[in-house]
Every structure is written in C-alpha cells, then in structure tokens.
Amino acid sequence: MRHVRKAIDTMAVLQIDSVNVVERAHQLTIFSRIGPYDPDLLWRALRQREIFEYWAHMASFVPIADWPLWKHRMEHQKQHGWHSIHRLRKEAPGYIESVQRQVAERGPLTVSDLEEPGERRGPWWGWADGKHVLEWLFECGDLAVAERRNFTRYYDIAERVIPAVHREAPTVPAEEAYRTLLLRSAERMGVGSAKGLVDYFRLPITEGRRLVAALAKEGALVPVEVAGWDEPLFMHPGTRFPRSVEARALLNPFDPIVWFREHTERLYDFHYRVEIYVPAPKRNYGYYVFPFLLGDRLVARVDIKADRKAGVLQVPGAFLEDGHDPKRVARELAIELGEMARWLGLGDIAVGKKGDLAAPLAAALA
C-alpha cells in the first residue's frame, strides 16, 4: 500500500500533460507546481502554439501535437450535436452558419462581438445562443481559442490558430485514442480503478471499461491489489517505486492527485470538495482551498486568495489533517506559501483566524 502511494505521488507530482486553465476566479494560477514557478509559462506556450485549449478533461491546455488524438472527439461532437444546436437549427435556420461566417470574417472574436449573440439565461452556465454555437464549434474543432483576456475566450477559425501540420494529420481512430489516453491516465495516476482511469479524460464509461479490461488482458495495464480497497485496480507497467518521496506542493482543486475524489479518499484518506458552489455559511474550509502535499501525504489544506490591490496573499483559513505535527507542517507550508506569493508577485502573506493550523502558520511566517 505504502509503495503504491509513493508511486502515485511521484507520477502525479512530476508529470502533468493536461493542465487546467490557468487563471480562475481568484486570479491565482491554478495549475500545480510543474517545475519552478513561472507566471508566464503557459501564456508563452500558448502564444508559441506549443499547446492549445480544449476540453480534455475539463477546460484544459493540451500539447498541440495531440490535436489528431482529440479529433475523434471533435468529429463525434460534429456528428451528434447538442440539444441547443438541434433547437437552433429548427428555430433559427442559418444562425449557426452566420456565426461561422462572422468568425471567419472578423475573428478572433468573443460572444458579444457577434451580430446577434442572443440573451444570457442567468449567471454561470446561462449561455446565450451565440455562446452555445461558439462553444459547439470549438468542441468540433472548427474553431479554436486564439487567446483569453480575463475569463473571456476569443474564438477564431482553427486554420488561423492550429498549425496545418497538426490539423491535417490523420485522425487517430476513437478506439486507438481511448487506449492511448487510458494508458496516459494510468501513468499519471499511478494506480486506478477502471472508473478512475476513464474519468481522467472523461471518456465514455462503457467503452472505457471495456478497453481497460482489454488493455489488462494484453498486458498494457497491470492488475494490482491494494489492501483494503476491494475493487479491481490497474497500474501502468512502467510505474517505478521510488524509495522515498519528498514532495512539497500546493495542489489546485483539479490536480490529478485530487481530481478523482474517490481515489483521493482511498489513497490519502483525504476528503476533498470544492466549496465555491456551497453557500458561504455552509462551507467547511473556504471558497478556494488548496490541499498541501508534503512528503507523500496530504497533510493540510489552505484557503488562499490573491489580494492584488494590496499586494497580499491572503490565507483566510489553514487546516491540519489528523496525525501530523503542526509545527513541522506550518514550517513547510510557510515556505511553500512564500513561493506562491513570489510567483504571483505579492509581497506579503496575511494569515486569518480560521482553522487549527492558522496560529502555527502565523508563527512560522513571523
């Protein structure tokens, strides 16, 4: 069990091929540490066309050479459409084509640049018709995201964003793509159930399960047992078992270590939920909480927020997991928060009152 845990830590911490969208509500860069902190890393890669934005598991940046690997998803979307797309075809014939034409003529553009973007149906997921069409065309691979300003996506025709060499490469057939993606999931996760492996890239569950079984039969995945975990589990054959793991990282809420909550609970005994959607009074820890990985355990969690105006990294709450030394954890966490603050260009760190680790952390920072 311990070895498996260690393998998972190593794999997951050191390798991330699909990075979540960079900035979120708090304007904290949310991808976990993948080398020295570098605020401009992703934007540079995006500008230089090394990565592109796509719905890999959620809104993600993926290596540009993977375009043919995602074409099966694009083609599938195009064939099946969405509810809203079928509705629009009936109610507003020619609308989709008009959106397409506008992007071709005037792109890159955002929803509100459309002649008739339609009305938004509420906050958050209340997409206007124009947004539905742009998003659908984006998922079909006809459009690509040329850039983002703040939260806003600027769409352009794929021809102007994705280099021809990738765009014109032959589609990797769906089954082959699933296999490749499942093996990648296994590499990143260290060990996983079929459900977990399939969920990493949000593949279709039934087909995914079938392929996990097939890969195991072929020896491309190795069946393993983990004590106390009564479920068929799989590892990538190339998984190594390091003697020790000395990780120290603040994990964003979508880091591979915590992405599939079931696994996180099994392997780290760490119950984690994002609370941005929970009414404030009902939140247990805070609005935007980062788990803290130390050694090979998840030892604490901190609610952090970048107060850019004041130049302060706010830490409203800090919470210790059971069985860990508060002084040691606070010391290491203080170092990590210092790096985070520097990365974000914030000169100061202010610790609030919430949580049993708040006082030790404040002491460690002082």
Q: Which is nearer to DNA, 173 or 204 (CB)?
A: 204
Euclidean distance between CA atoms 6 and 257, whole angstroms: 12
Among 1, 3, 14, 25, the residue binding DNA under the rule CB under 7 A is 25
Stretch that binds DNA, among 90-98, 104-112, 156-164, 358-366 (CB under 7 A): 104-112
Distance of closest approach, residue 240 Cβ to DNA, in angstroms: 29
Euclidean distance between CA atoms 209 and 198, whole angstroms: 7
* Residue 125 sits in the site that holds DNA (CB under 7 A): yes
* Residue 206 sits in the site that holds DNA (CB under 7 A): yes
* Residue 335 sits in the site that holds DNA (CB under 7 A): no
Confirm if 118 and 130 have CB atoms less than 8 A apart.
yes
Residue list 128-147, contact with DNA (CB under 7 A)? 128, 131, 135
DSSP string spanning 149-204?
Answer: ETTEEEEEEGGGTS-HHHHTSPPPPHHHHHHHHHHHHHHHHSSEEHHHHHHHTT--
Residue list 233-262, contact with DNA (CB under 7 A)? 253-254, 261
Euclidean distance between CA atoms 75 and 72, whole angstroms: 5
* Residue 328 sits in the site that holds DNA (CB under 7 A): no
Q: Which is nearer to DNA, 101 or 121 (CB)?
A: 121
* Residue 84 sits in the site that holds DNA (CB under 7 A): no
Stretch that binds DNA, among 7-15, 125-133, 169-177, 182-190 (CB under 7 A): 125-133
Tokens at 50, concatenated: 């090394």
* Residue 280 sits in the site that holds DNA (CB under 7 A): yes
Euclidean distance between CA atoms 343 and 327, whole angstroms: 24
Among 44, 34, 29, 31, smallest CA distance to 14 is for 34
Q: Which is nearer to DNA, 245 or 351 (CB)?
A: 351
Q: How does DSSP classify residue 33?
A: P
Q: How does DSSP classify residue 163?
A: -
Q: How many CB atoms lie within 10 A of CB 259?
A: 23
SS3 222: strand
Stretch that binds DNA, among 112-120, 234-242, 342-350, 351-359 (CB under 7 A): 112-120
* Residue 102 sits in the site that holds DNA (CB under 7 A): no
Bridge partners, residue 315, by sequence: 351
Residue with tokens 């302060």: 312
Q: Which is nearer to DNA, 7 or 74 (CB)?
A: 74
**Sign of dihedral through CA atoms 13, 19, 20, 23?**
positive
* Residue 15 sits in the site that holds DNA (CB under 7 A): no
Among 35, 36, 122, 228, the residue binding DNA under the rule CB under 7 A is 122
Q: How many CB atoms lie within 10 A of CB 209?
A: 16
Distance of closest approach, residue 308 Cβ to DNA, in angstroms: 4
User: Could you tell me how many residues of this chain bind DNA (CB under 7 A)?
Assistant: 50
Binding mask 157-196 for DNA (x = CB under 7 A): --------------------------------------x-
Distance of closest approach, residue 29 Cβ to DNA, in angstroms: 10
Q: In 53-73, which positions are buried (b, 16+ CB within 10 angstroms) versus exposed (e)? A: bbbbbeebbbbbebbebbbbb
* Residue 117 sits in the site that holds DNA (CB under 7 A): yes
Euclidean distance between CA atoms 348 and 226, whole angstroms: 43
Among 16, 27, 34, 352, the residue binding DNA under the rule CB under 7 A is 27
Euclidean distance between CA atoms 187 and 11, whole angstroms: 7
* Residue 285 sits in the site that holds DNA (CB under 7 A): no
Among 17, 187, 307, 332, the residue binding DNA under the rule CB under 7 A is 307
* Residue 332 sits in the site that holds DNA (CB under 7 A): no
Euclidean distance between CA atoms 319 and 330, whole angstroms: 10
Confirm if 351 and 358 have CB atoms less than 8 A apart.
yes
Q: Kindly list the residues in this chain that would bind DNA in the complex (CB under 7 A).
A: 20-21, 23-27, 30, 58-59, 110-112, 117, 120, 122-126, 128, 131, 135, 149-153, 195, 204-206, 209, 253-254, 261, 272-274, 276-280, 287, 305-309
